[in-house]
């Protein structure tokens, strides 16, 4: 049973082209809060990322916010989130827009994966079994329906 989520920020929760949250993102986070799902966020960026999260009113939804100032995300970052959520990897799903990045590393950390297939990276098909998501959604509203099956 999924009890926690690790979400990517850029192009998953946040639309950099519109400088705002993706459609349905805040409502989804509110739903997660009501369902008592534990949330973590992994993002590349700098210290201003925390200010962005506060500006959009979503900072408080996350138990762990991991902002990487240099380098790419790796499985150890997702493992760090699992420790902060005090959950085992089998109880966590990773939600991201890049099968070859967040989903690959979440899977390597033993987590389920949900490909938020919308926007810039929709054509970037998984290149290996390690990148293949457990579920694919095009809208945040669809995640509620796939979580019970993971």
Using 50 as the pLDDT threshold, list the residues of the chain that sit under it. Answer: none
pLDDT value at residue 106: 95
pLDDT value at residue 21: 97
pLDDT value at residue 121: 63
Which DSSP string do the residues of 81-124 spell out, in sequence order?
A: HHHHHT--GGGEEEEES-IIIIIHHHHHTT-EEEEE--STTTT-
Q: How many CB atoms lie within 10 A of CB 142?
A: 16
Sketch the domain layout of the chain as residue ranges.
19-120+130-137
Architecture of domain 19-120+130-137: 3-Layer(aba) Sandwich (3.40)
pLDDT value at residue 22: 95
pLDDT value at residue 112: 97
- C-alpha to C-alpha distance for 4 and 13, rounded to whole angstroms: 16
pLDDT value at residue 147: 96
């Amino acid at each position: 049973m999924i009890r926690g989520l690790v979400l990517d920020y850029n192009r998953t929760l946040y639309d950099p082209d519109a400088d705002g949250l993706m459609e349905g993102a805040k409502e989804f986070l509110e739903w997660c809060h009501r369902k008592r799902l534990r949330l973590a966020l992994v993002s590349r960026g700098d210290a201003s990322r925390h200010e962005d999260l506060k500006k959009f009113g979503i900072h408080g939804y996350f138990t762990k916010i991991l902002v990487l100032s240099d380098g790419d995300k790796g499985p150890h970052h997702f493992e760090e989130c699992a420790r902060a959520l005090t959950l085992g990897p089998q109880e966590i799903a990773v939600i991201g827009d890049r099968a070859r990045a967040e989903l690959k590393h979440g899977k390597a950390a033993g987590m389920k994966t949900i490909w938020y297939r919308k926007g810039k990276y929709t054509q970037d098909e998984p290149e290996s079994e390690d990148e293949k998501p457990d579920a694919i959604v095009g809208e945040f509203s669809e995640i509620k329906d796939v979580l019970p099956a993971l």
